[in-house]
Structure 1
Amino acid sequence: MATETSLGMDLDDPVTQHMRTECARLPVHLTAAEALAAIRENPPAGRVVYFYVVDEEDRLLGVVPTRRLLMSALDRKVGEMMIHPATCIPSTATVFDACEFFILYRLLAFPVVDAENRLLGVVDVELYTDELADLDRREASDDLFQLIGVKLQASQQESSFAGFQNRFPWLIANIAGGIMAAVLSGFFQAELEKVVALALFIPVVLALAESVSIQSVSLSLQRLHGRQPTLEAIFRKLQVEGGTGLFLGIASAACIAATAMVWLGQWKVALCLFGGISGGVTFAAVIGALIPNVLRYLQREPQVASGPIALAATDMMTLTMYFLLARWLFA
């Protein structure tokens, strides 16, 4: 998805389109005195935060902060005072990648280098502050709507029928999920009639799983902005999210099962709740992370489709595990 800011910057833009090509270079062989003299003779354009140390072929070797250069002994070599290796942004990076560098490393500027480590330019934080604030507002609103199957632009339609056309198709996933949930309940009607308490806890079992599923979808969408996932990255993410879901499921299930035990005094109901919630929440975390990543990997838009599909799949699997465990326990 290409996200554009109010100033026309696209998160998928190559960072090279927004860098400054004029940056403060210092040859590695200079002393501090020679470097200061060269700077006075040819003042660098714009605000200078860091000086970039390069070799004869303009390959980046390190970075010298302005304060360090000014405070160093005049006979000290630039190569001795530089910070090495320098944190660089590759020329293949996008604007989104550059924003992540500012957030992660909290520096005021980053050099941009090519595949051979030649210095191409500098990305300055001032170029991004206004855009980041605007993106934060836009994306937070857009993702909130898209998780429930609505695009923010579509939600602002003045025509009632146009709004219906844009919003109804993705509700079909929820309708299908609800119908299948009713069918599932019919298959396990004997268990529900035998132990009415099982039906009492269905809302909380589904609510916990759905909440975790939407959390996983939301986190995955945030990480996918401007990125194309690999199969290895997807598998690794599913492992982490599955572990997180398991911990969340056990903690939530323990609370609900303890409540059921104190309230009803039926250990089989408590065990059924513990197993159903633990399994349902674990599956919800995995499916919530899987669907956005798979859709993006297949070159499809994950923002609108992920939420409804994840919720429907979560409801189906959670109820199936809950009812199967009940059938086994109360056989």
Structure 2
Amino acid sequence: MPSPLQTQQLRQNIVAHVKKDFVTFPRTMTVGEAADYIRNKVASEAIQYFYVVDEQDKLVGVLPLRRLITSGQEKTLAQVMISRIVAVPYTATVMEAAEFFVLYRLLSLPVVDGQRGVVGVIDVSQFTNEMIDLQSGAATDNAFEALGFRLTQVRGASPLTAFRFRFPWLLASIGSGVMCAVLTSVFEVTLAKSIVLAFFMALVLGLGESVSIQSMSVVIQTLKIRKPTRKWYLRELSREMTTALMLGLACGGVVAGIVMLWRGDVTASLVVGGGICGSLLGACFFGLSVPALLHAIKLDPKIAAGPITLALTDVVTLVTYFGLACLLFK
């Protein structure tokens, strides 16, 4: 996720980034006249598109350089121009303009005002360089935010300041770890009946945590661009749980097969396989629900969701795992 400064830059109005070295032609001009003007007046070799305007200077067409030089000299620009225009409104942000390049894959785009007048042009090479600068630290920031803090909060900070930012979220891991230890002690008798369950406990926990982080990451990216609604949540929940069921059956089946081949214990293989399936269902549920809930109550899901999601996933994973073992190892 971009830092606050980067986020501010991405939200800047696109007009601050436009180039002014664009060329407009009246639609009544002929191809020959336009070509003469370009040879004599236009110095920039980087211009790939020219813009055609009407009598009120409103943008009515785009004229690629290739089309200009391959058209008949006597034709008017109105006859050879492309009337289907892709233009960025002058009210757009930098991020919104970036989406135009991704969607339409053009070399440059005109920026127009409310009266369809051209106020500037965005060139893809210039734009790409700016976006690289903005996003260079995004991947690193995302990794740290999943752990419970922003990199900008602790980079260069004093040991005490770094401690204050990092320790509260580590308490969530400590709390879930203690709770998992208590749960394990409650099921001590069950573990004694099949030591194989202890062998695979770390694997079951690891799979649950991995899937919960995957689901959480997808949801957090979605929350950047849309406001969650009840309809959206139910639709995403149905999709995530269906995916989790398929993942659970696949992963559970593979590990259960390994248990059978290694130990020849049918009951243990059912517990391990079923525990993995139940764990992944719970992991996807929390991976979706925790960020959505934090967003709904106006907290930052990028910072708080990681520790909370992992803690809940670990607890539910062990309850599912040992609960199934109690039922089958009577």
1:156 Cα deviation after fit: 2.5
1:313 Cα deviation after fit: 1.9
Deviations 1:272-312 (A, max 9, x none): 22232223224323433443454445543232212111211
TM-score (norm 2): 0.81
CA distance in 1, matches of 2:253, 2:121: 53
**Equivalent pair of 1:216/1:285 in contact (CA under 8 Å):** yes
1:275 equivalent in structure 2: 274
CA distance in 1, matches of 2:115, 2:176: 53
**Equivalent pair of 1:23/1:45 in contact (CA under 8 Å):** no
- Which has the larger displacement, 200-209 or 108-117? 108-117
AA at the equivalent of 2:317: T
1:167 Cα deviation after fit: 0.5
1:40 Cα deviation after fit: 6.3
CA distance in 2, matches of 1:284, 1:203: 15
**Equivalent pair of 1:228/1:297 in contact (CA under 8 Å):** no
AA at the equivalent of 1:199: A
1:291 equivalent in structure 2: 290
How high is the sequence identity, in percent, across the aligned residues? Answer: 39
- Which has the larger displacement, 116-125 or 308-317? 116-125
2:227 equivalent in structure 1: 229
Secondary structure of residue in 2 paired with 1:51: strand
Secondary structure of residue in 2 paired with 1:10: helix
1:209 Cα deviation after fit: 1.4
Change (3 A) 1:218 1:123: same
**Matched ranges for 1:145-294 at <5 A:** 145-222=144-221, 227-231=225-229, 236-294=235-293
CA distance in 2, matches of 1:299, 1:25: 47
Deviations 1:154-184 (A, max 9, x none): 3334532222111011112222222332333
Change (3 A) 1:160 1:28: same
**Equivalent pair of 1:27/1:55 in contact (CA under 8 Å):** yes
AA at the equivalent of 1:197: V
AA at the equivalent of 2:206: A
**Equivalent pair of 2:3/2:141 in contact (CA under 8 Å):** no
CA distance in 2, matches of 1:170, 1:119: 51
**Equivalent pair of 1:257/1:270 in contact (CA under 8 Å):** yes
Secondary structure of residue in 2 paired with 1:74: coil
2:105 equivalent in structure 1: 106
- Which has the larger displacement, 19-28 or 139-148? 19-28
**Equivalent pair of 1:3/1:11 in contact (CA under 8 Å):** no
**Equivalent pair of 1:250/1:278 in contact (CA under 8 Å):** yes
Change (3 A) 1:327 1:142: same
CA distance in 2, matches of 1:293, 1:24: 48
CA distance in 2, matches of 1:177, 1:92: 47
- Which has the larger displacement, 209-218 or 79-88? 79-88
- Which has the larger displacement, 114-123 or 244-253? 114-123
1:208 Cα deviation after fit: 1.0
CA distance in 1, matches of 2:327, 2:116: 63
1:60 Cα deviation after fit: 4.7
AA at the equivalent of 1:176: G
1:18 equivalent in structure 2: 17
What runs of 5+ residues in structure 1 fail to find an aligned partner? Answer: none
CA distance in 1, matches of 2:111, 2:57: 12
- Which has the larger displacement, 280-289 or 231-240? 231-240
CA distance in 1, matches of 2:301, 2:324: 33
Change (3 A) 1:151 1:31: same
1:303 equivalent in structure 2: 302
**Equivalent pair of 2:257/2:269 in contact (CA under 8 Å):** yes
2:94 equivalent in structure 1: 95
Deviations 1:178-222 (A, max 9, x none): 233233334444433333322221110110111122233334445
**Equivalent pair of 1:23/1:121 in contact (CA under 8 Å):** yes
**Equivalent pair of 2:154/2:161 in contact (CA under 8 Å):** no
AA at the equivalent of 1:89: V
1:262 Cα deviation after fit: 0.9
Secondary structure of residue in 2 paired with 1:107: coil
AA at the equivalent of 2:94: V
Of structures 1 and 2, the larger Rg is shown by 2
CA distance in 2, matches of 1:265, 1:97: 58
- Which has the larger displacement, 43-52 or 173-182? 43-52
1:144 Cα deviation after fit: 1.4
CA distance in 2, matches of 1:245, 1:260: 22
CA distance in 2, matches of 1:99, 1:111: 13
1:70 equivalent in structure 2: 69
Number of aligned residue pairs: 328
AA at the equivalent of 1:229: K
1:4 equivalent in structure 2: 5
**Equivalent pair of 1:51/1:66 in contact (CA under 8 Å):** yes
What runs of 5+ residues in structure 2 fail to find an aligned partner? Answer: none
AA at the equivalent of 2:97: A
CA distance in 2, matches of 1:304, 1:276: 29
Secondary structure of residue in 1 paired with 2:9: coil
